Chains A and B, each alone.
Chain A
Amino acid sequence: MSTQEQTPQPSSSVTRRAFIKMVIASSAAVSASAYLFRGSTLVGQGSLPGAVERLMSLNVNGQLRRVDVMKQETLATTLRYKLGLTGTKLGCDRSECGACTVLIDDIPHYSCSVLTHTVRGRKIQTIEGLEQPDGTLHPVQQAILDEQGFQCAFCMSGFVMSAVGFLKTNPNPTREELAHGISGNLCRCADYDKILRAMMRGAAYMQKTTT
Protein backbone atom coordinates (compact mmCIF):
# COMPACT_ATOMS: atom_id res chain seq x y z
CA MET A 1 0.00 0.00 0.00
CA SER A 2 0.89 3.64 0.00
CA THR A 3 1.42 3.93 3.77
CA GLN A 4 5.12 3.86 3.33
CA GLU A 5 5.04 6.70 0.89
CA GLN A 6 2.79 8.94 3.04
CA THR A 7 4.80 8.65 6.25
CA PRO A 8 5.86 12.25 6.94
CA GLN A 9 9.49 12.87 6.28
CA PRO A 10 11.55 15.17 8.48
CA SER A 11 11.65 17.54 5.58
CA SER A 12 7.82 17.71 5.14
CA SER A 13 5.54 20.49 6.56
CA VAL A 14 4.96 18.85 9.99
CA THR A 15 8.14 18.66 11.98
CA ARG A 16 8.55 16.37 14.99
CA ARG A 17 8.72 19.43 17.26
CA ALA A 18 5.53 20.96 15.83
CA PHE A 19 3.73 17.63 16.06
CA ILE A 20 4.54 17.24 19.76
CA LYS A 21 3.41 20.81 20.42
CA MET A 22 0.17 20.10 18.59
CA VAL A 23 -0.51 17.00 20.68
CA ILE A 24 0.08 18.88 23.93
CA ALA A 25 -2.16 21.74 22.89
CA SER A 26 -5.05 19.57 21.76
CA SER A 27 -4.98 17.37 24.86
CA ALA A 28 -4.94 20.50 27.01
CA ALA A 29 -8.02 21.71 25.18
CA VAL A 30 -9.75 18.37 25.75
CA SER A 31 -9.02 18.33 29.49
CA ALA A 32 -10.01 21.99 29.85
CA SER A 33 -13.37 21.35 28.23
CA ALA A 34 -13.89 18.37 30.53
CA TYR A 35 -13.29 20.72 33.46
CA LEU A 36 -15.57 23.42 32.12
CA PHE A 37 -18.47 21.20 31.23
CA ARG A 38 -18.35 18.62 34.01
CA GLY A 39 -21.16 20.45 35.83
CA SER A 40 -23.63 19.83 33.04
CA THR A 41 -25.21 16.62 34.21
CA LEU A 42 -28.50 17.52 32.56
CA VAL A 43 -29.10 18.16 28.91
CA GLY A 44 -31.12 21.11 27.70
CA GLN A 45 -31.47 22.89 31.03
CA GLY A 46 -30.59 26.16 29.31
CA SER A 47 -34.16 26.53 28.10
CA LEU A 48 -35.74 26.09 31.55
CA PRO A 49 -36.69 29.09 33.68
CA GLY A 50 -34.09 30.04 36.24
CA ALA A 51 -31.15 28.43 34.44
CA VAL A 52 -27.86 29.77 35.78
CA GLU A 53 -24.77 31.03 33.94
CA ARG A 54 -21.44 30.20 35.54
CA LEU A 55 -19.77 33.42 34.52
CA MET A 56 -20.92 36.22 36.79
CA SER A 57 -20.07 39.64 38.19
CA LEU A 58 -19.66 39.96 41.93
CA ASN A 59 -19.75 43.29 43.73
CA VAL A 60 -16.98 42.81 46.29
CA ASN A 61 -15.67 45.70 48.38
CA GLY A 62 -17.03 48.20 45.88
CA GLN A 63 -15.40 46.53 42.88
CA LEU A 64 -17.18 44.58 40.17
CA ARG A 65 -15.23 41.33 39.78
CA ARG A 66 -15.84 38.96 36.86
CA VAL A 67 -15.54 35.39 38.03
CA ASP A 68 -16.34 31.86 36.85
CA VAL A 69 -18.31 30.20 39.65
CA MET A 70 -19.40 26.58 39.93
CA LYS A 71 -23.07 26.03 40.76
CA GLN A 72 -22.20 24.37 44.05
CA GLU A 73 -19.51 26.87 45.06
CA THR A 74 -19.81 28.72 48.36
CA LEU A 75 -19.02 32.41 48.73
CA ALA A 76 -16.09 31.63 51.05
CA THR A 77 -14.52 29.47 48.32
CA THR A 78 -15.01 32.14 45.66
CA LEU A 79 -13.61 34.90 47.85
CA ARG A 80 -10.59 32.96 49.02
CA TYR A 81 -9.63 30.83 46.06
CA LYS A 82 -10.94 32.74 43.02
CA LEU A 83 -10.61 36.35 44.13
CA GLY A 84 -7.61 36.00 46.45
CA LEU A 85 -9.41 37.61 49.40
CA THR A 86 -7.91 35.29 52.01
CA GLY A 87 -8.73 37.61 54.93
CA THR A 88 -12.00 35.70 55.13
CA LYS A 89 -11.15 32.51 57.03
CA LEU A 90 -12.66 29.06 56.82
CA GLY A 91 -12.92 27.39 60.20
CA CYS A 92 -15.61 24.75 60.38
CA ASP A 93 -17.28 25.16 56.95
CA ARG A 94 -20.55 24.31 58.73
CA SER A 95 -22.00 27.61 60.06
CA GLU A 96 -20.70 26.71 63.49
CA CYS A 97 -17.77 29.05 64.14
CA GLY A 98 -18.20 32.41 62.40
CA ALA A 99 -14.65 32.75 61.03
CA CYS A 100 -16.01 33.19 57.49
CA THR A 101 -18.44 36.01 58.35
CA VAL A 102 -18.81 38.66 55.64
CA LEU A 103 -21.40 41.37 55.07
CA ILE A 104 -23.96 40.89 52.32
CA ASP A 105 -25.92 44.12 51.85
CA ASP A 106 -24.58 45.16 55.28
CA ILE A 107 -25.91 42.03 57.03
CA PRO A 108 -23.51 39.45 58.52
CA HIS A 109 -23.64 36.02 56.90
CA TYR A 110 -21.51 32.88 57.15
CA SER A 111 -19.89 32.89 53.71
CA CYS A 112 -19.19 29.14 54.01
CA SER A 113 -22.94 28.58 53.83
CA VAL A 114 -23.96 30.95 51.05
CA LEU A 115 -23.95 29.84 47.43
CA THR A 116 -22.05 32.46 45.43
CA HIS A 117 -24.75 32.37 42.76
CA THR A 118 -27.32 33.57 45.30
CA VAL A 119 -25.51 36.88 45.93
CA ARG A 120 -25.37 38.06 42.32
CA GLY A 121 -26.06 41.80 42.30
CA ARG A 122 -25.70 42.18 46.04
CA LYS A 123 -23.05 44.16 47.88
CA ILE A 124 -20.40 42.00 49.53
CA GLN A 125 -17.94 43.41 52.01
CA THR A 126 -15.00 41.47 53.43
CA ILE A 127 -12.33 42.43 55.95
CA GLU A 128 -10.19 43.70 53.04
CA GLY A 129 -12.84 46.28 52.21
CA LEU A 130 -13.00 47.94 55.61
CA GLU A 131 -10.03 50.29 55.50
CA GLN A 132 -10.12 53.58 53.63
CA PRO A 133 -8.28 53.85 50.28
CA ASP A 134 -5.62 55.93 52.08
CA GLY A 135 -4.98 53.07 54.52
CA THR A 136 -6.91 54.49 57.47
CA LEU A 137 -8.29 51.56 59.43
CA HIS A 138 -11.96 51.12 60.22
CA PRO A 139 -12.65 52.31 63.81
CA VAL A 140 -13.29 48.71 64.92
CA GLN A 141 -9.94 47.62 63.44
CA GLN A 142 -8.17 50.56 65.07
CA ALA A 143 -9.75 49.70 68.43
CA ILE A 144 -8.49 46.11 68.16
CA LEU A 145 -5.01 47.41 67.49
CA ASP A 146 -5.21 49.76 70.46
CA GLU A 147 -6.65 47.13 72.81
CA GLN A 148 -4.57 44.22 71.44
CA GLY A 149 -7.92 42.47 71.41
CA PHE A 150 -7.02 39.02 70.05
CA GLN A 151 -4.55 36.23 70.77
CA CYS A 152 -4.02 34.13 67.64
CA ALA A 153 -6.59 36.19 65.71
CA PHE A 154 -7.68 33.48 63.28
CA CYS A 155 -11.27 34.31 64.26
CA MET A 156 -10.65 38.06 64.07
CA SER A 157 -11.85 38.92 60.59
CA GLY A 158 -15.13 37.12 61.27
CA PHE A 159 -15.57 38.89 64.60
CA VAL A 160 -14.80 42.26 63.03
CA MET A 161 -17.32 41.76 60.22
CA SER A 162 -19.97 40.64 62.73
CA ALA A 163 -19.31 43.66 64.91
CA VAL A 164 -19.31 46.09 61.99
CA GLY A 165 -22.61 44.62 60.77
CA PHE A 166 -24.15 44.69 64.23
CA LEU A 167 -23.03 48.29 64.89
CA LYS A 168 -24.87 49.38 61.75
CA THR A 169 -28.13 48.30 63.38
CA ASN A 170 -27.23 49.31 66.93
CA PRO A 171 -24.47 51.96 66.94
CA ASN A 172 -24.52 52.52 70.69
CA PRO A 173 -24.84 49.10 72.34
CA THR A 174 -24.32 48.06 75.92
CA ARG A 175 -21.60 45.45 76.45
CA GLU A 176 -24.32 42.83 76.86
CA GLU A 177 -26.09 43.82 73.64
CA LEU A 178 -22.81 43.73 71.75
CA ALA A 179 -22.00 40.30 73.21
CA HIS A 180 -25.37 39.07 71.96
CA GLY A 181 -24.83 40.75 68.59
CA ILE A 182 -21.53 38.99 67.96
CA SER A 183 -22.54 35.72 69.65
CA GLY A 184 -22.42 33.94 66.29
CA ASN A 185 -18.62 33.91 66.38
CA LEU A 186 -16.35 31.61 68.35
CA CYS A 187 -12.84 32.27 69.64
CA ARG A 188 -10.85 29.09 70.30
CA CYS A 189 -8.48 31.06 72.56
CA ALA A 190 -11.57 32.03 74.61
CA ASP A 191 -10.34 35.60 74.62
CA TYR A 192 -13.87 36.98 74.77
CA ASP A 193 -13.30 39.56 77.47
CA LYS A 194 -10.57 41.31 75.51
CA ILE A 195 -12.49 40.96 72.25
CA LEU A 196 -15.56 42.60 73.77
CA ARG A 197 -13.47 45.38 75.28
CA ALA A 198 -11.91 46.07 71.88
CA MET A 199 -15.28 46.00 70.12
CA MET A 200 -16.79 48.37 72.68
CA ARG A 201 -13.92 50.74 72.10
CA GLY A 202 -14.54 50.39 68.35
CA ALA A 203 -18.17 51.37 68.87
CA ALA A 204 -16.99 54.42 70.83
CA TYR A 205 -14.56 55.38 68.04
CA MET A 206 -17.37 55.10 65.51
CA GLN A 207 -19.55 57.44 67.59
CA LYS A 208 -16.70 59.94 67.57
CA THR A 209 -16.12 59.77 63.82
CA THR A 210 -19.80 60.13 62.96
CA THR A 211 -20.57 63.03 65.32
Chain B
Amino acid sequence: MAIVHDVMPVFELFQPTTVDDTLALLDTYGADAWVLAGGLDTFDWFKDRNKRRKVVVDLSGVQTLRGVKKTADGGLEIGASTTLTDVASEPLVKQNYRLLSQAAALVASPQIRNQGTLGGNVSQDTRCWYYRSGWTCYRAGGNICYADTPTAINREHAIFDANRCVAVNPSDTAPALVALDAQMVIRSSDGERVVNAQDYFIGPSTDITRMTVLQAGDLLTAIRIPATWANAEFYFEKIRERQVWDFPLVNIAAALKVEGGTIRSSRFVVNAVAAHPVRLGAVEDAVAGKPRNEETAAMAGALAVQGARPLTHNGYKIPLVRNLVKRAIRGEAQA
Protein backbone atom coordinates (compact mmCIF):
# COMPACT_ATOMS: atom_id res chain seq x y z
CA MET B 1 0.00 0.00 0.00
CA ALA B 2 1.15 3.39 -0.88
CA ILE B 3 1.81 5.75 1.98
CA VAL B 4 -0.31 8.87 1.67
CA HIS B 5 1.82 11.94 2.43
CA ASP B 6 0.28 15.39 2.73
CA VAL B 7 1.47 16.94 -0.52
CA MET B 8 4.10 16.26 -3.13
CA PRO B 9 7.60 17.60 -2.57
CA VAL B 10 8.18 21.06 -3.92
CA PHE B 11 8.96 21.73 -7.59
CA GLU B 12 8.98 24.74 -9.86
CA LEU B 13 6.12 24.64 -12.36
CA PHE B 14 6.08 26.02 -15.89
CA GLN B 15 3.02 26.13 -18.10
CA PRO B 16 4.16 27.14 -21.58
CA THR B 17 1.60 27.63 -24.34
CA THR B 18 3.72 26.80 -27.39
CA VAL B 19 5.97 23.93 -28.37
CA ASP B 20 8.87 26.34 -28.90
CA ASP B 21 8.57 27.72 -25.37
CA THR B 22 8.35 24.15 -24.06
CA LEU B 23 11.52 23.15 -25.89
CA ALA B 24 13.29 26.28 -24.62
CA LEU B 25 12.40 25.32 -21.05
CA LEU B 26 13.50 21.71 -21.57
CA ASP B 27 16.74 23.01 -23.01
CA THR B 28 17.33 25.39 -20.11
CA TYR B 29 16.77 22.82 -17.38
CA GLY B 30 17.98 19.65 -19.11
CA ALA B 31 17.91 16.64 -16.81
CA ASP B 32 16.32 18.73 -14.03
CA ALA B 33 13.12 19.05 -16.06
CA TRP B 34 10.19 16.64 -16.09
CA VAL B 35 7.55 16.72 -18.83
CA LEU B 36 4.03 16.51 -17.42
CA ALA B 37 1.16 15.39 -19.65
CA GLY B 38 -1.82 13.67 -17.95
CA GLY B 39 0.27 13.15 -14.82
CA LEU B 40 -1.02 9.69 -13.94
CA ASP B 41 2.43 8.12 -14.09
CA THR B 42 4.20 11.27 -12.89
CA PHE B 43 2.33 11.87 -9.64
CA ASP B 44 2.91 8.30 -8.38
CA TRP B 45 6.64 8.89 -8.63
CA PHE B 46 6.48 12.30 -6.97
CA LYS B 47 4.04 11.30 -4.22
CA ASP B 48 6.10 8.23 -3.34
CA ARG B 49 9.25 10.38 -3.26
CA ASN B 50 10.97 7.88 -5.54
CA LYS B 51 11.66 10.30 -8.37
CA ARG B 52 11.98 14.04 -8.15
CA ARG B 53 12.73 16.92 -10.47
CA LYS B 54 13.41 20.56 -9.72
CA VAL B 55 11.27 21.67 -12.65
CA VAL B 56 7.99 20.36 -14.05
CA VAL B 57 6.94 21.52 -17.51
CA ASP B 58 3.18 21.08 -17.87
CA LEU B 59 1.92 20.55 -21.43
CA SER B 60 -1.77 21.20 -20.70
CA GLY B 61 -1.55 24.74 -22.05
CA VAL B 62 -0.02 23.77 -25.40
CA GLN B 63 -3.14 23.54 -27.58
CA THR B 64 -1.29 22.48 -30.75
CA LEU B 65 -0.42 19.14 -29.10
CA ARG B 66 -4.09 18.10 -29.06
CA GLY B 67 -6.42 16.75 -31.67
CA VAL B 68 -6.59 14.38 -34.61
CA LYS B 69 -6.18 15.43 -38.23
CA LYS B 70 -5.85 13.74 -41.60
CA THR B 71 -2.48 13.74 -43.29
CA ALA B 72 -1.73 14.20 -47.00
CA ASP B 73 -1.06 10.49 -47.52
CA GLY B 74 -4.50 9.53 -46.21
CA GLY B 75 -3.33 8.61 -42.73
CA LEU B 76 -3.80 10.39 -39.43
CA GLU B 77 -1.74 12.59 -37.15
CA ILE B 78 -2.70 12.47 -33.49
CA GLY B 79 -1.38 15.15 -31.16
CA ALA B 80 0.58 13.64 -28.26
CA SER B 81 -1.63 15.38 -25.66
CA THR B 82 -4.88 14.01 -27.09
CA THR B 83 -6.66 12.22 -24.25
CA LEU B 84 -7.28 8.48 -24.46
CA THR B 85 -11.05 9.14 -24.28
CA ASP B 86 -10.74 11.33 -27.37
CA VAL B 87 -8.60 8.75 -29.17
CA ALA B 88 -11.16 6.05 -28.35
CA SER B 89 -14.16 8.09 -29.46
CA GLU B 90 -12.70 10.04 -32.39
CA PRO B 91 -14.61 9.05 -35.57
CA LEU B 92 -11.50 9.40 -37.77
CA VAL B 93 -9.71 6.80 -35.64
CA LYS B 94 -12.74 4.54 -35.32
CA GLN B 95 -13.42 4.49 -39.05
CA ASN B 96 -10.05 3.26 -40.23
CA TYR B 97 -7.96 2.25 -37.23
CA ARG B 98 -10.36 0.56 -34.84
CA LEU B 99 -7.38 -1.33 -33.43
CA LEU B 100 -6.19 1.88 -31.78
CA SER B 101 -9.61 3.02 -30.53
CA GLN B 102 -10.15 -0.42 -28.99
CA ALA B 103 -6.77 -0.30 -27.27
CA ALA B 104 -7.34 3.23 -25.93
CA ALA B 105 -10.80 2.29 -24.62
CA LEU B 106 -9.30 -0.55 -22.58
CA VAL B 107 -6.77 1.56 -20.68
CA ALA B 108 -7.32 1.85 -16.90
CA SER B 109 -10.57 3.59 -15.86
CA PRO B 110 -12.90 6.24 -17.37
CA GLN B 111 -11.43 9.07 -15.29
CA ILE B 112 -7.88 8.04 -16.21
CA ARG B 113 -8.79 7.93 -19.91
CA ASN B 114 -10.36 11.40 -19.55
CA GLN B 115 -7.02 12.75 -18.41
CA GLY B 116 -4.32 10.39 -19.65
CA THR B 117 -2.85 11.17 -23.05
CA LEU B 118 -1.79 9.01 -25.97
CA GLY B 119 1.74 10.40 -25.74
CA GLY B 120 1.83 9.65 -22.03
CA ASN B 121 0.45 6.17 -22.47
CA VAL B 122 3.23 5.19 -24.87
CA SER B 123 5.93 6.97 -22.87
CA GLN B 124 4.98 5.72 -19.40
CA ASP B 125 7.47 3.98 -17.19
CA THR B 126 7.29 0.30 -16.26
CA ARG B 127 5.14 -0.91 -13.36
CA CYS B 128 7.73 -3.29 -11.81
CA TRP B 129 6.97 -2.70 -8.14
CA TYR B 130 10.51 -3.22 -6.95
CA TYR B 131 11.58 -0.39 -9.22
CA ARG B 132 8.57 1.80 -8.47
CA SER B 133 8.98 1.28 -4.73
CA GLY B 134 12.34 2.94 -4.92
CA TRP B 135 14.61 -0.12 -4.75
CA THR B 136 17.99 0.61 -6.28
CA CYS B 137 17.71 -1.95 -9.05
CA TYR B 138 19.50 -1.92 -12.41
CA ARG B 139 16.82 0.34 -13.89
CA ALA B 140 17.24 2.77 -11.01
CA GLY B 141 21.00 2.85 -11.49
CA GLY B 142 21.92 0.01 -9.11
CA ASN B 143 23.42 -3.41 -9.81
CA ILE B 144 20.75 -6.00 -9.00
CA CYS B 145 17.32 -7.02 -10.26
CA TYR B 146 15.07 -7.69 -7.28
CA ALA B 147 12.39 -9.20 -9.54
CA ASP B 148 14.70 -11.95 -10.74
CA THR B 149 15.84 -13.58 -7.51
CA PRO B 150 14.76 -17.01 -6.17
CA THR B 151 12.15 -15.45 -3.86
CA ALA B 152 11.03 -12.62 -6.12
CA ILE B 153 7.37 -12.02 -6.94
CA ASN B 154 7.46 -11.74 -10.69
CA ARG B 155 4.08 -12.82 -12.07
CA GLU B 156 3.84 -9.68 -14.20
CA HIS B 157 7.38 -9.68 -15.52
CA ALA B 158 9.10 -10.44 -18.82
CA ILE B 159 9.33 -13.64 -20.81
CA PHE B 160 11.17 -12.10 -23.76
CA ASP B 161 14.35 -10.04 -24.26
CA ALA B 162 15.22 -9.66 -20.58
CA ASN B 163 18.71 -8.41 -19.94
CA ARG B 164 19.46 -8.03 -16.21
CA CYS B 165 16.15 -6.09 -15.84
CA VAL B 166 12.95 -8.15 -16.29
CA ALA B 167 10.44 -5.28 -16.27
CA VAL B 168 7.77 -5.00 -18.95
CA ASN B 169 6.17 -2.20 -20.94
CA PRO B 170 2.58 -1.84 -19.62
CA SER B 171 1.07 0.22 -22.44
CA ASP B 172 -2.10 -0.87 -24.25
CA THR B 173 -1.85 1.61 -27.10
CA ALA B 174 1.84 0.89 -27.81
CA PRO B 175 1.31 -2.54 -29.45
CA ALA B 176 -1.58 -1.13 -31.51
CA LEU B 177 0.64 1.68 -32.79
CA VAL B 178 3.49 -0.71 -33.62
CA ALA B 179 1.02 -2.96 -35.48
CA LEU B 180 -0.22 0.05 -37.47
CA ASP B 181 3.36 1.01 -38.49
CA ALA B 182 2.90 4.34 -36.69
CA GLN B 183 5.62 6.95 -36.48
CA MET B 184 6.51 9.09 -33.52
CA VAL B 185 7.29 12.75 -34.15
CA ILE B 186 9.90 13.97 -31.68
CA ARG B 187 11.05 17.56 -31.36
CA SER B 188 13.97 19.07 -29.53
CA SER B 189 15.81 22.36 -29.85
CA ASP B 190 17.88 20.63 -32.57
CA GLY B 191 14.78 20.15 -34.71
CA GLU B 192 12.33 17.41 -35.55
CA ARG B 193 12.97 13.71 -36.02
CA VAL B 194 10.56 10.93 -36.88
CA VAL B 195 11.02 7.48 -35.35
CA ASN B 196 9.12 4.31 -36.24
CA ALA B 197 6.93 3.21 -33.34
CA GLN B 198 8.80 -0.08 -33.27
CA ASP B 199 12.09 1.73 -32.68
CA TYR B 200 10.62 4.23 -30.22
CA PHE B 201 10.48 1.59 -27.49
CA ILE B 202 13.80 0.27 -26.23
CA GLY B 203 14.79 -2.67 -24.08
CA PRO B 204 17.39 -2.97 -21.33
CA SER B 205 20.05 -4.09 -23.84
CA THR B 206 19.86 -0.63 -25.42
CA ASP B 207 19.43 1.43 -22.24
CA ILE B 208 18.42 -0.14 -18.97
CA THR B 209 17.17 3.13 -17.43
CA ARG B 210 14.82 4.22 -20.22
CA MET B 211 11.69 2.76 -21.84
CA THR B 212 11.79 4.94 -24.96
CA VAL B 213 14.30 6.77 -27.12
CA LEU B 214 13.28 10.07 -25.49
CA GLN B 215 16.11 11.85 -23.71
CA ALA B 216 16.35 15.09 -21.77
CA GLY B 217 15.26 17.92 -24.06
CA ASP B 218 13.10 15.69 -26.27
CA LEU B 219 9.36 16.15 -26.62
CA LEU B 220 7.00 13.67 -28.28
CA THR B 221 4.67 16.00 -30.20
CA ALA B 222 2.58 13.74 -32.42
CA ILE B 223 1.92 10.21 -33.58
CA ARG B 224 1.41 9.59 -37.29
CA ILE B 225 -0.47 6.60 -38.59
CA PRO B 226 0.06 5.84 -42.28
CA ALA B 227 -2.75 4.62 -44.51
CA THR B 228 -0.99 1.23 -44.87
CA TRP B 229 -3.26 -0.69 -42.50
CA ALA B 230 -6.41 1.41 -42.77
CA ASN B 231 -9.44 -0.83 -42.50
CA ALA B 232 -7.43 -4.03 -42.32
CA GLU B 233 -8.86 -6.83 -40.20
CA PHE B 234 -7.93 -6.04 -36.64
CA TYR B 235 -7.75 -8.00 -33.44
CA PHE B 236 -7.06 -6.49 -30.02
CA GLU B 237 -7.33 -8.32 -26.74
CA LYS B 238 -6.17 -7.35 -23.27
CA ILE B 239 -5.88 -9.94 -20.52
CA ARG B 240 -6.05 -8.58 -16.99
CA GLU B 241 -7.37 -9.73 -13.65
CA ARG B 242 -10.03 -7.10 -13.08
CA GLN B 243 -11.68 -5.31 -15.94
CA VAL B 244 -10.94 -1.78 -14.76
CA TRP B 245 -7.66 -0.10 -13.81
CA ASP B 246 -5.45 -3.13 -14.32
CA PHE B 247 -2.46 -3.06 -16.59
CA PRO B 248 -2.31 -5.96 -19.04
CA LEU B 249 -0.86 -9.31 -18.03
CA VAL B 250 -0.51 -9.71 -21.81
CA ASN B 251 -2.17 -7.86 -24.63
CA ILE B 252 -2.12 -8.43 -28.38
CA ALA B 253 -2.67 -6.13 -31.33
CA ALA B 254 -2.93 -7.71 -34.77
CA ALA B 255 -3.67 -6.36 -38.22
CA LEU B 256 -4.28 -8.72 -41.14
CA LYS B 257 -4.90 -8.27 -44.82
CA VAL B 258 -6.88 -11.28 -45.99
CA GLU B 259 -7.90 -12.08 -49.57
CA GLY B 260 -10.21 -14.99 -50.27
CA GLY B 261 -9.39 -16.64 -46.97
CA THR B 262 -5.64 -16.31 -47.49
CA ILE B 263 -3.52 -14.06 -45.26
CA ARG B 264 -1.55 -11.70 -47.54
CA SER B 265 0.28 -9.69 -44.92
CA SER B 266 -0.01 -9.13 -41.21
CA ARG B 267 1.30 -7.54 -38.03
CA PHE B 268 1.31 -9.30 -34.67
CA VAL B 269 2.46 -7.36 -31.62
CA VAL B 270 2.23 -8.43 -27.98
CA ASN B 271 2.99 -6.27 -24.97
CA ALA B 272 3.63 -6.69 -21.23
CA VAL B 273 5.98 -9.57 -22.06
CA ALA B 274 9.18 -7.53 -22.48
CA ALA B 275 10.44 -4.02 -21.77
CA HIS B 276 9.14 -3.03 -25.21
CA PRO B 277 6.21 -4.18 -27.35
CA VAL B 278 7.28 -7.39 -29.08
CA ARG B 279 6.60 -7.65 -32.78
CA LEU B 280 6.26 -11.30 -33.76
CA GLY B 281 8.14 -11.13 -37.05
CA ALA B 282 8.50 -14.90 -37.33
CA VAL B 283 4.73 -15.30 -37.12
CA GLU B 284 4.14 -12.57 -39.70
CA ASP B 285 6.53 -14.27 -42.15
CA ALA B 286 5.15 -17.75 -41.54
CA VAL B 287 1.46 -16.90 -42.00
CA ALA B 288 1.93 -14.90 -45.21
CA GLY B 289 0.20 -16.76 -48.02
CA LYS B 290 -1.35 -19.30 -45.63
CA PRO B 291 -5.09 -19.89 -45.35
CA ARG B 292 -6.74 -18.36 -42.32
CA ASN B 293 -7.61 -21.61 -40.59
CA GLU B 294 -7.02 -23.58 -37.40
CA GLU B 295 -3.87 -25.21 -38.74
CA THR B 296 -2.27 -21.84 -39.43
CA ALA B 297 -3.41 -20.62 -36.02
CA ALA B 298 -1.76 -23.56 -34.26
CA MET B 299 1.46 -23.09 -36.22
CA ALA B 300 1.51 -19.34 -35.52
CA GLY B 301 0.81 -19.85 -31.81
CA ALA B 302 3.69 -22.29 -31.44
CA LEU B 303 6.02 -20.00 -33.34
CA ALA B 304 5.05 -16.96 -31.27
CA VAL B 305 6.48 -18.31 -28.02
CA GLN B 306 9.74 -19.70 -29.36
CA GLY B 307 12.59 -18.35 -27.30
CA ALA B 308 10.39 -17.31 -24.38
CA ARG B 309 12.14 -17.66 -21.01
CA PRO B 310 9.77 -17.68 -18.03
CA LEU B 311 10.75 -16.57 -14.52
CA THR B 312 9.52 -18.30 -11.35
CA HIS B 313 5.93 -17.09 -11.45
CA ASN B 314 5.18 -15.94 -14.98
CA GLY B 315 5.22 -19.19 -16.96
CA TYR B 316 1.47 -18.76 -17.58
CA LYS B 317 2.31 -15.97 -20.02
CA ILE B 318 3.64 -18.51 -22.52
CA PRO B 319 0.31 -20.32 -23.17
CA LEU B 320 -1.37 -16.92 -22.92
CA VAL B 321 0.68 -15.49 -25.79
CA ARG B 322 0.27 -18.72 -27.77
CA ASN B 323 -3.51 -18.65 -27.40
CA LEU B 324 -3.85 -14.94 -28.07
CA VAL B 325 -1.98 -15.36 -31.35
CA LYS B 326 -4.29 -18.24 -32.26
CA ARG B 327 -7.32 -16.14 -31.48
CA ALA B 328 -6.00 -13.24 -33.51
CA ILE B 329 -5.63 -15.54 -36.52
CA ARG B 330 -9.13 -16.94 -36.06
CA GLY B 331 -10.48 -13.39 -35.89
CA GLU B 332 -13.05 -11.74 -33.67
CA ALA B 333 -16.02 -13.79 -34.80
CA GLN B 334 -14.47 -17.15 -33.91
CA ALA B 335 -12.12 -16.10 -31.08
Contact = CB atoms under 8 A, between A and B. Distances in A.
A50 B115 contact: no
A39 B55 CA distance: 11
B128 to A, nearest CB: 17
Interface in A1-58: 38-42, 45, 48-52
A181 B105 CA distance: 12
A132 to B, nearest CB: 26
Interface residues of B, number: 45
B57 A50 contact: yes
A71 B11 contact: yes
Contact of B13 (A90, A98, A117): A117
B282 interface: no
A90 B12 contact: no
A71 B10 contact: yes
Interface stretch (A106-114, A133-141, A144-152, A197-205): A106-114
B30 to A, nearest CB: 13
B21 A77 contact: no
A96 interface: yes
A72 B49 CA distance: 13
A211 interface: no
B2 A108 contact: no
Contact of B14 (A40, A51, A101, A182): A51
A167 to B, nearest CB: 13
Contacts of B58: 50, 115, 117-118
B244 A184 contact: yes
A127 B43 CA distance: 24
Contact of B39 (A48, A114, A162, A180): A114
Contacts of B2: 92-94
Given A38-B10, A39-B10, A92-B2, A162 B111 contact: yes
A53 B303 CA distance: 58
A42 B11 CA distance: 9
A98 B14 contact: no
A42 B32 CA distance: 11
A126 interface: no
Interface string A174-207: 0000001111100000000000000000000000
A68 interface: no
B92 to A, nearest CB: 19
B47 interface: yes
A49 B55 CA distance: 13
A70 interface: yes
A155 to B, nearest CB: 13
Most buried by A among B22, B55, B110: B110
A108 B110 contact: yes
Nearest to B83: A107
Given A94-B44, A95-B40, A113-B43, A118 B15 contact: yes
Contacts of A162: 110-111
A70 B4 CA distance: 18
B50 interface: no
Contacts of A114: 39, 115
Contact of A71 (B12, B44, B112, B244): B12
A72 B13 CA distance: 8
Contact of A183 (B9, B12, B109): B109
Interface string B33-47: 000100110011011
14 contacts: A38-B10, A45-B12, A48-B24, A49-B21, A51-B14, A72-B8, A94-B44, A95-B111, A96-B245, A109-B114, A110-B112, A113-B115, A114-B115, A184-B112
Interface of B: 2, 4, 6-18, 21-22, 24-25, 28, 36, 39-40, 43-44, 46-47, 54-58, 60-61, 85, 108-112, 114-115, 243-245
Given A41-B10, A107-B114, A108-B110, 20 more contacts: A42-B55, A45-B14, A49-B16, A49-B21, A49-B24, A71-B56, A74-B7, A92-B2, A92-B4, A94-B43, A94-B44, A94-B47, A101-B111, A108-B111, A110-B115, A113-B39, A113-B40, A162-B110, A184-B108, A184-B109
Interface of A: 38-42, 45, 48-52, 70-74, 77, 90, 92-96, 98, 101, 107-110, 113-115, 117-118, 162, 166, 180-184
